[in-house]
Amino acid sequence: MGEDRSRRPAEVGHGVNKKTKRAGGEAERSEPYKRKLIAFDDETWHALQLLGRDSMKSWQELADEAFADLLKKHNRPASLKQALRESLRRQPANDPRPRNTKRRP
C-alpha cells in the first residue's frame, strides 16, 4: 500500500560479501566489500542499463566509477594511501621553509 513501484533496486555484482563458516559454526567474512541497496526511477534505470551495455561495463564497474568521481569532486581520498599523502601535504612542518634574503644587522 502506497509503495512506489517506479523505483527498482540496483543489482550488485555477485560474490560480494560472501560469508564462510569457521569450525564451530562462527561466521567469517571472506571478502571486505560492503553492500548497499539503492533505488532508481524507471528512466534512470533504463539509462544506466543502456550505458552499461554500450560501454560493456557491469553495474559494479559503473558504481565504482561514479563513486570515485564523486569523491574526487569533493576532494576526498578514495584510498588509505591517498589519505596519507594528503595528510602529509597539510602539515606545515613538511613544507620547505622560506629563506630569508635580508640579513639582520
| Predicted pLDDT of residue 92 | 65
pTM over 0.85: no
List the beta bridge partners of residue 7. 41
Can you tell me the mean pLDDT for 60-87?
A: 90
Distance between first and last Cα of the chain: 85
Rounded CA-CA distance 90/84 in Å is 10
- Where exactly are the structural domains of the chain? 7-92
| Predicted pLDDT of residue 86 | 81
Q: For 15-73, how does the pLDDT look when each residue is reduced to its tens digit (9 = 90+)?
A: 444 444 445 555 555 667 888 999 999 999 999 999 999 999 999 999 999 999 999 99
Rounded CA-CA distance 29/20 in Å is 6
Q: Cell match 560493456: residue?
A: 56
Q: Which of 28-32, 67-71, 82-86, 88-92 has the highest mean pLDDT?
A: 67-71
Contact 85, 40 (CB under 8 A): no
